[in-house]
């Protein structure tokens, strides 16, 4: 079976894998089978080259120098911003794309700026039971500071949000935080439907898109959210940079986040005047090399086409779910939606009663990299009634042979623990 | 390269499959302590009875991986009935083992600080079956799994001691 559908949907994995230097190596005497892209993805040569070229030929601080390389550095940095904005359909990318350290910092930025200026004692925030800690803890910190209440949209046993009571839950809510795609269950949430109801109730919507932007076509107008955060390192880019998109009309009204250079127009002894968008939210020298790497990652993904990436991952996810069930029957339980069209390529599973740590340890002996743990989603773990899960997650460079290797290594794991 | 057989010794798998002293003692009178491994979500509940300067009974609850569960099971068997002072020595020796071998592996950081230099002088052979866990140090991520129950027990002994001091004061 392996290999037969690799060329389907315009993604030729065999060719594409060659772009990723790390995937050529062996681990413990086996070719590496990297199935942890939901935690961090690998980088293609094109991204590494763009970063290296910038470092070797063009590096200077941005927005300051009037000499040649400084102007070119600024041009490349701002071009990356616009490319990222177009990638998610931002109406005014040069103003609405804010570079942060990662998605987590982007979400904290919303809590510190929008949250502090709009939320008062007694207001409510609505989150979902499947949020990553990054879209929970900033709100809990703010709730403690401002005496806010936090409500939760529950999930059903298939890992889908239960929206029957949404209107009641939204009563008195000023902000809704929702993940576009669960990093544990793979669930794709109906963000547009939630955003419509939230806006009717007078709330703004903050979408955590860290898992969805790397794997699906993203259009902020279709999603209907007001803020959207994601990280470069999960979408073939480097660590150290993330993105917060916000509606121009909202960002314009917000106070700065961190203070320092770059974010000001003027500073006097008496005070300061903040800079225009987007620099108002980017204090200090930004991650320039990383922004250029992210720009190259966006270019790489766009060349393949996000529709093709999504089609490839649906096909791979459905192969994986089918193969795991055929091989292991009741010994395996995959969490989350059964229908691959309703989920991303994230497969969290329980295998017999073997602890995820032990599964991951044995799989490593076969070169198979999967994650074991609570995936920074402890409220969800409690809802699922587990301490931890093992999680295999796919990206465009995975194919059916990777799934076959996982399944064979799992069989060995089962044999090892008897 | 460290092989799986270094980690999953037969004694370890035996204690994982058939954990000793499993359960919880009624608390009070037993001392009840919970330990968490924030990295993996494992949790352990140690209940122990301390009387006349000895650990007269101990039970282990909670959930975790084979290493944390077997380490807890081996620990419970090793300390039950032992004088508190001896148990504290054992904790020091065990934690020393979890760092001594680490420091002899080139190019790796010591994840757990050695408690005392004295601990390093103690004989690992005195640990008996517990020495089966020494292969864990070759897998640095798993050291916290192995030491979770021991840190929890140490906390339990401290609490039992401070409570008895309060009671006698």
Least Cα separation, residue B52 to chain A (angstroms): 37
Compare CB distances from A362 to B4, B13, B67 and report the shortest one's residue: B4
Q: Is A358 on the interface with B (CB under 8 A)?
A: yes
Question: Which residues in B lie closer than 8 A to residue A387 (C-beta atoms)?
Answer: 40-43, 63-64
pTM score, two decimals?
Answer: 0.91
Average pLDDT rounded to a whole number, residues B109-127: 53
Joined together, the tokens standing for residue A106 give: 């982007």
Neighbours of A206 (CB within 10 A): 29
Percent of chain A residues past pLDDT 90, beyond the cut:
94
**A367 Cβ contact list (under 8 Å, min separation 6):** A26, A27, A28, A29, A30, A31, A32, A33, A405
Ranked by mean pLDDT, the top range of A33-37, B106-110, B155-159 is A33-37
B8 with A416: Cβ contact below 8 A: yes
Please give the pLDDT value at position B125: 67
Question: Which residues in A lie closer than 8 A to residue B41 (C-beta atoms)?
Answer: 373-374, 378, 381, 387-388
- Tell me: pLDDT of B115 over 80: no
**CA–CA dist B13, A359 (Å, integer):** 14
**CA–CA dist B144, B43 (Å, integer):** 12
What ipTM does the predicted assembly reach? 0.80
Least Cα separation, residue A390 to chain B (angstroms): 11
pLDDT band at B85 (very low <50, low <70, confident <90, very high): very high
Average pLDDT rounded to a whole number, residues B77-97: 92
Q: Which residue of B has its CA nearest to A28?
A: B1
Q: Which residue of B has its CA nearest to A358?
A: B65
B65 with A373: Cβ contact below 8 A: no
Task: Identify which of A344, A337, A333, A271 has the alpha carbon closest to the alpha carbon of residue A37.
Answer: A344
**A315 Cβ contact list (under 8 Å, min separation 6):** A5, A8, A9
Please give the pLDDT value at position B160: 87
Average pLDDT, chain A: 95
Question: Which residues in A lie closer than 8 A to residue B64 (C-beta atoms)?
Answer: 355, 387
Phi, psi dihedrals of residue A411, rounded to the nearest 5° = -60, -40
Task: List pLDDT tens digits, range B1-41.
Answer: 567 888 888 888 888 889 999 999 998 889 999 999 877 77
Question: Which residues in B lie closer than 8 A to residue A418 (C-beta atoms)?
Answer: 13, 17
Please give the pLDDT value at position A304: 96
Compare CB distances from A388 to B17, B40, B66 and report the shortest one's residue: B40
- Tell me: pLDDT of A1 over 60: no
The residue with greater pLDDT, A65 or A308, is A308
Compare CB distances from A355 to B7, B13, B66 and report the shortest one's residue: B66
| A43-47, A241-245, A257-261: least confident range | A257-261
B4 with A416: Cβ contact below 8 A: yes
**CA–CA dist A113, A276 (Å, integer):** 15
Of the residues B65, B70, B144, the best mutation for testing chain A's interface (the one with the most A CB atoms within 10 Å of its CB) is: B65
B42 with A387: Cβ contact below 8 A: yes
B64 with A355: Cβ contact below 8 A: yes
Least Cα separation, residue B64 to chain A (angstroms): 7
Compare CB distances from A387 to B13, B63, B67 and report the shortest one's residue: B63
C-alpha distances in angstroms, A8 versus A210, A311, A341?
Answer: 26, 9, 17
Q: Is A294 on the interface with B (CB under 8 A)?
A: no
Least Cα separation, residue B146 to chain A (angstroms): 12
| A275-279, A314-318, B157-161: least confident range | B157-161
Q: Is A357 on the interface with B (CB under 8 A)?
A: yes
- Tell me: pLDDT of A392 over 70: yes
Collapsing DSSP states into helix, strand and coil, what is residue A277?
coil
Please give the pLDDT value at position A195: 98
Average pLDDT, chain B: 82
B41 with A381: Cβ contact below 8 A: yes
**Catalytic amino acids of A?**
376
Task: List pLDDT tens digits, range A6-20.
Answer: 444 578 898 999 999
| A194-198, A316-320, A368-372, B89-93: least confident range | B89-93
Q: Taking the C-alpha atoms of A106, A111, A112 and A118 in order, what is their torsion angle to the nearest 10 degrees?
A: 140
**CA–CA dist A167, A176 (Å, integer):** 12
Q: What is residue A189's DSSP assignment?
A: P
**Is A259:A283 a contact under the CB 8 Å cutoff?**
yes
Least Cα separation, residue B140 to chain A (angstroms): 12
Task: List pLDDT tens digits, range A133-187.
Answer: 999 999 999 999 999 999 999 999 999 999 999 999 999 999 999 999 999 999 9
């Amino acid at each position: 079976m392996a290999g037969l559908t690799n060329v389907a949907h315009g993604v030729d994995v065999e060719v594409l894998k060659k772009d990723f230097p790390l995937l050529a190596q062996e681990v413990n005497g086996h070719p590496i089978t990297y199935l942890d892209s939901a935690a961090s993805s690998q980088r293609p040569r094109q991204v590494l080259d763009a970063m290296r070229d910038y470092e070797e030929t063009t590096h200077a601080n941005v927005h300051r120098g009037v000499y040649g390389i400084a102007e070119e550095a600024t041009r490349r940095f701002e071009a990356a911003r616009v490319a990222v904005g177009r990638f998610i359909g931002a109406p005014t990318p040069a103003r609405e794309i804010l570079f942060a350290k990662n998605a987590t910092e982007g979400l904290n930025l919303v809590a510190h700026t929008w949250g502090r200026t709009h939320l008062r004692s007694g207001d409510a925030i609505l989150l979902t039971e499947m949020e990553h800690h990054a879209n929970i803890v900033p709100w809990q910190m703010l709730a403690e500071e401002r005496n806010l209440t936090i409500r939760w949209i529950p999930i059903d046993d298939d890992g889908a949000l239960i929206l029957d009571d949404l209107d009641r839950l939204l009563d008195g809510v000023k902000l809704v935080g929702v993940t576009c795609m669960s990093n544990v269950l793979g669930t794709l949430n109906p963000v547009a439907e939630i955003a419509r109801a939230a806006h009717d109730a007078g709330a703004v919507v903050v979408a955590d898109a860290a898992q969805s932007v790397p794997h699906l076509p993203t259009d902020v107008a279709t999603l209907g959210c007001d803020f959207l955060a994601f990280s470069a390192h999960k979408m073939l880019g480097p660590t150290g940079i993330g993105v917060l998109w916000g509606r121009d009309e909202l960002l314009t009204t917000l106070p700065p986040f961190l203070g320092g250079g770059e974010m000001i127009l003027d500073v006097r002894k008496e005070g300061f005047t903040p800079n225009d968008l987007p620099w108002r939210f980017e204090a200090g020298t930004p991650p320039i090399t990383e922004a250029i790497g992210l720009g190259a990652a966006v270019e790489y993904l766009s060349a393949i086409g996000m529709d093709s990436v999504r089609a490839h991952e649906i096909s791979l996810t459905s192969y994986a779910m089918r193969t795991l069930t055929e091989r292991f029957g009741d010994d395996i339980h995959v969490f989350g939606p059964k229908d691959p069209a309703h989920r991303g390529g994230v497969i969290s599973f329980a295998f017999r009663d073997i602890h995820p740590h032990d599964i991951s340890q044995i799989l490593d002996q076969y070169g198979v990299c999967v994650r074991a743990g609570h995936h920074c989603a402890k409220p969800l773990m409690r809802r699922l009634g587990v301490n931890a899960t093992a999680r295999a997650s796919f990206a465009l460079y995975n194919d059916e042979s990777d799934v076959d290797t996982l399944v064979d290594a799992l069989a060995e794991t089962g044999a090892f623990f008897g | 390269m460290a092989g799986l057989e270094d980690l999953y010794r037969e004694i370890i798998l035996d204690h994982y499959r058939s954990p000793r002293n499993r359960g919880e003692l009624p608390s009070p009178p037993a001392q009840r302590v919970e330990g968490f491994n924030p990295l993996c979500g494992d949790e352990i509940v140690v209940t122990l009875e301390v009387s006349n300067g000895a650990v007269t009974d101990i039970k282990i609850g909670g959930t975790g991986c084979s290493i944390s569960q077997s380490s807890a099971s081996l620990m419970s068997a090793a300390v039950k009935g032992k004088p508190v002072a001896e148990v504290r020595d054992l904790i020091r020796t065990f934690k020393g083992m979890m760092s001594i071998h680490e420091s002899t592996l080139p190019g790796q950081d010591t994840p757990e600080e050695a408690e005392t230099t004295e601990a390093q002088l103690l004989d690992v052979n005195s640990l008996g079956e517990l020495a089966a866990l020494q292969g864990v140090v070759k897998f640095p991520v798993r050291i916290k799994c192995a030491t979770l129950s021991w840190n929890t027990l140490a906390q339990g002994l401290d609490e039992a001691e401070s409570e008895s001091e309060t009671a006698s004061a």
